[in-house]
Structure 1
Amino acid sequence: MLWEAPTAAVLAGEEPGWLPGPWRLMLLGDGSPTRHLRLLTSHPVAVRVSAMEADTALHGAPREVRELSYPLLRRQVWLECGDITLAWAESWWNQTEAEQHLQDRNLPIWISLTQGRSELFREVDGLALVTAPWLEQGFGEPGPFWSRHYRFFRQGKELTVIREVFSPALERWLGEAPRRPLHAAS
C-alpha cells in the first residue's frame, strides 16, 4: 500500500481534497460500483471468478473482516465491461451467509443481494492507493491503483466486507485521477 486515508476521515466522508469529483463519487459514494460501471460503459458487467474458498489466515484483509462470524469464505473476481477489465474485487463472508446470498457465483454481488429487494446499508471504511504486479498484469496497465473497502449491513448486522481496486482505464469516463501518494500514510 502506497497511501491510505485515515479511517475516521473516510467514515466522515472527508475525501482527501485532491480527487476530482467523478472519482470521489466512484470511490466514496454509497452506490453500486457494478451499476456505475454499466452506466459508464453501456456494457453489462461480467464477473470472472478467480477464487472462492475458505479463508482462515486473513492476511492483508481489512480489519473490519474480523467482525464477521466465522467460518469465513473469501471470493475474488475481476469485473469486465466489454473487452476491458475495470476492477478487481474481493469479499469476505460468513460461509452460511455466502451460501444464502451467492447462489450464482458469476453474478455481481449487488445483483445477488438486491434480488429480493431487501434493504442494505453500505459504509465505506477505507480508501487507498495500492500497487502489485498481479494487478498490473490483470489490468494491463502500470499502477498504482485506487482501492476502497466497505461493508454491507442488513438490519444492523454486518453482512460482508468488500475491497475493490479500480483500473486506470476508468479515466476514459471519469477523467484523470492522481495516482501518486500526496500525503503521508496514516
Structure 2
Amino acid sequence: MRARATFDRVVATRARCDVRGRVRGAVARARATRGGEDVRRHVPWTGGLEIIFSADERDVLAGASRGAPLDALSAPWRLMLLSDGSVTRHLSVLGRSARAEVEVVESGARRSDDDDDDAPGDVKRLGAGILRREVFLRARGTTGAGEAPAVYAASWWNEEAFRKFMPDEGASMWANLRNANVELHREIREVYLGKNERLEEAFGERGPFWARHYIFWHDGAPITVVYEVFNPALSAVLGRP
C-alpha cells in the first residue's frame, strides 16, 4: 500500500512537471529578447472555425434563430454556450477534480495589424499592440475516460491589460482575475457552429464544434475578447447536444 502511494506521488509529480514544461515552452515560443527587453513575437492564429452557422446573443435570446441548429441543441449545451459564468468553474463543477487543468499553447503571441485570421471583429475594440493567449482546459471525467481537452480557448488583450490582469501566464484567466478580486462583466457576443482540423486532432472528435466569443468589461472598458470551442465529448457530462 505504501509502495503504491509512493508510485502515485511520483506519477503526479511527473505530470505536474510535464504541464509546467509545456507552459514554459509556450511562453518561450511567444517571446524573444532584444537588448535584455522582453519582446513578443508574431504567431499566426489557426484556432478559428470554418463557420457553418452563427448567431449573435440578441438574436438567439429573441428567438430569431428559429429553425436553426441552435434550436435543436439540448438545454445543458445551451446553458454552457450562453451562460455568463466562468467556463473553468463550470468544468470544475462538472468534473471529478477540484479545478480544471490549464495547458498553455501560446502565451502573449503578438497579433499583426495586417493579420487576416478570422479573429472576432470585437478584437479591434482593444486598440493597438494586441497579444493572444491560447489554452486547452481539462477536467477529469468531463470528456469520458480519456484525457482529451474539454475546451479550447483563445483570448486577445492589449499589452497593458495583459500585464495587469494576467500576471501568472501559466494559470487560468479565471484564477488570475479571481486572485486580484477583479469585478467584470461578461458580454456574450456570438455563438458558432463550425469545423477546424487542428481541433479535431486535439479533441479526438470529428467536427462540427460549438463555440462562442465574448467580451470582458472592467470599469466600462473592454479588457479582453475570448473565443471558446467546446469538445463534443462533453456529452459525457452534458448529454447529447
Calculate the TM-score normalised by the size of structure 2: 0.69
Out of 17-26 and 61-70, give the one that drifted further.
Answer: 17-26
Relative to structure 1, the CA distance from residue 69 to residue 123 in structure 2 (aligned partners, 3 Å threshold; closer, same or farther) is same
How many residue pairs end up in the alignment?
176
The match for 2:95 is 41
What CA RMSD, in Å, does the superposition of the two structures yield over aligned residues?
A: 1.6
1:85 counterpart = 2:139: no
How does the TM-score come out when normalised to structure 1? 0.89
Indicate the residue corresponding to 2:158 in structure 1: 94
Pairwise CA distance, 1:7: 5.4
Question: Which structure 1 residue ranges, 5 or more long, are not aligned?
Answer: 178-186
- Is it true that 1:2 corresponds to 2:58 in the alignment? no
The alpha-carbon distance between structure 1 residues 7 and 30, as it changes in their structure 2 partners (threshold 3 A), is closer
Q: Rg larger in 1 or in 2?
A: 2
Kindly indicate whether structure 1 or structure 2 has the higher relative contact order, using CA contacts under 8 Å at least 6 residues apart: 1
Q: Taking structure 1 as reference, are residues 116 and 167 closer, same or farther at Cα in structure 2, changes over 3 Å only?
A: same
Counterpart for residue 31 of structure 1: 85
Tell me the SS of whatever aligns to 1:59. Answer: coil
Q: In structure 2, what is the equivalent of residue 54 of structure 1? A: 110
1:111 is the counterpart of 2:165: no
CA contact (8 A) 2:137 2:152 kept: yes
**Bigger Cα displacement from structure 2, 116-125 vs 1-10:** 1-10
> Within 1, Cα distance between the matches of 2:216 and 2:124?
14
Q: How does 1:1-186 map to 2 (within 5 A)?
A: 1-6=51-56, 8-10=58-60, 12=61, 14=63, 16-43=70-97, 44-52=99-107, 53-56=109-112, 57=115, 59-82=117-140, 83-177=147-241
Q: Quick check: 2:88–2:174 contact (8 Å CA) kept in 1? A: yes
Preserved CA contact (<8 Å) 1:13 1:28: no
Q: Which is helix-richer, 1 or 2? A: 2
Aligned-pair CA distance for 1:118: 2.5
3-state DSSP of counterpart to 1:84: coil
